Amino acid sequence: MVNRKLYHDVPSIYSGYKIIEDDSMVITYDHYMALRTWKERLFERPWEPWRVFKVVANTKPDPTVLIHGDKLICHPQTAIVLREKLRSGALC
């Protein structure tokens, strides 16, 4: 089992809120079929060399912010914008 870090270790604190950055908060907006390389076809698990195509999804950062108590959970790029607005007092 892979130990995957869901958010950064040290949440930053601005205006009494802890901002937690989560890399998995993305929106998929486009799907397309791409050819799999021979390396992917022969050496991936589960072994399925007869599958020629794979589905690739384009993603972009989710602009929404989840509020849970004194925690604000958002994508890292959204957190940059959020910090600037909290510093300037635009959200107060």
Q: Give the mean pLDDT per block of 10 residues along the chain (92 residues).
A: 46 72 93 94 91 94 91 92 82 61
The pTM of the full predicted model, rounded to 2 decimals, is 0.65
Q: 26 to each of 44, 62, 63, how far by Cα in Å?
A: 25, 5, 8
Both tokens of 37, joined, read 């390389």
pLDDT in the model for residue 7: 47
Closest CA to 52 of 37, 64, 62: 37
Helix (H) or strand (E) holding 41: helix 38-43
pLDDT in the model for residue 91: 65
pLDDT in the model for residue 12: 58
Residue whose pair of structure tokens reads 């912010």 in the numeric block: 65
